[in-house]
Amino acid sequence: MADEWQRSATHINTLERSAFSNKLWLSDSKKGNPLAAWTKVKKGKHTIDLALFSGTYNDWIGGWSDSLTYYMSWEVDLTSKTGLDKTDLWWSTYYQNAQTNEARLAGGNQWATTVVTRLAKGSAELHTTVAFGDNGAKPNTNRSGSFCGTVIMPMYWIIPNKHKFVTRIQYQKSSQKEGIRLNSRYARLAEKRDEQLEINAGRGDSHLSYYIGYNYYINEHNLKIVSGIKWEKLSSDGKTMYHGYTIGAGIRLLF
């Protein structure tokens, strides 16, 4: 799964995670975290995770009556070999065994494979995610097929632990004309509230976005101001479905 999902919402570097990272995340039908059995093994600089996820949604504890997703990951700390302050390499993959009539995770993705790198040297940081997978069987075949994408996040501490400059480039594409989607906030919400807007429910086959932001850490992650501007373009079958800007700022509190 994507680098942006390796930390909670209180610790992410942008106003919201990229659409591609959200596509990879094993959330249930209500966008929550599913029931899972998990084991972790550490040996030296290496960490291996194995897990079994259930697609069954329940307000309390889900059962095992729907899809089953088999997950594994391997992470290695290569800092001692690169001369950087931080060098992490992380690979993960999952396969979802499901029928179209069963509750499924990750929007029904059949499988996905992801490679993440996290690099740091002095005040500079670079996080990257590269992934590809398959949307799985869908009643609407325009939303099935394969997908791939990347997220690149160069960041720089203007003043360590106080002022941070954040950038992000995200690109995702699919083999079918509705195989990828924008995040649910902002553009898709605007379409729901204004009948004159038509962005194909935020679905397409090519999505490019750029983000530039500034974060002010008043008290580390316990109290900070996160601000940014994002430009994005969504296309479907060669036609531009949406392009525009989103500007926002927020205060994040952690007790």
pLDDT at 8: 87
| β-pairing verdict for 68-77 and 86-97 | antiparallel
SS percent in the chain: helix, strand, coil, step 5: 10, 55, 35
Q: Which residue has the tokens 């550490």?
A: 42
Q: How far apart are CA 71 and CA 88, in angstroms?
A: 20
Nearest CA among 189, 169, 176 for reference residue 233: 169
The residue ranking higher by pLDDT, 56 or 203, is: 203
**Mapping DSSP to helix (H, G, I), strand (E, B) and coil, where does residue 68 land?**
strand
Q: Is the pLDDT of residue 50 over 70?
A: yes
pLDDT band at 91 (very low <50, low <70, confident <90, very high): very high
The residue ranking higher by pLDDT, 60 or 15, is: 15
Phi, psi (rounded to 5 degrees) for 174? -140, 160
pLDDT at 60: 72
Q: Is the pLDDT of residue 54 over 70?
A: yes
pTM above 0.75, yes or no: yes
| Average of per-residue pLDDT across 165-178 | 98
| Average of per-residue pLDDT across 203-218 | 98
pLDDT at 132: 97
Task: Specify the amino acid at residue 2.
Answer: A
Q: Is the pLDDT of residue 123 over 90?
A: yes
Lowest mean pLDDT among 101-105, 153-157, 226-230: 101-105
Domains of the chain from N-terminus onward? 3-253 (2.40.160.10)
Percent of residues, the chain, with pLDDT higher than 90: 75
Report residue 49 as tokens: 């995770």
Q: Is the pLDDT of residue 187 over 90?
A: no
pLDDT at 206: 98
Per-residue DSSP letters for 138-202? -SSGGG-SEEEEEEEEEEEEEETTTEEEEEEEEEEEESSTTSEE--TTTHHHHHHH-TT--SGGG
**Mapping DSSP to helix (H, G, I), strand (E, B) and coil, where does residue 79 land?**
helix
Q: Is the pLDDT of residue 110 over 70?
A: yes
The residue ranking higher by pLDDT, 163 or 192, is: 163
Contact 4, 183 (CB under 8 A): no
pLDDT band at 59 (very low <50, low <70, confident <90, very high): low
Task: Kindly give, in sequence order, each residue whose CB lies less than 8 Å from that of residue 205, ignoring residues fewer than 6 positions away.
Answer: 173, 174, 175, 176, 177, 178, 179, 180, 235, 236, 237
Contact 244, 232 (CB under 8 A): yes
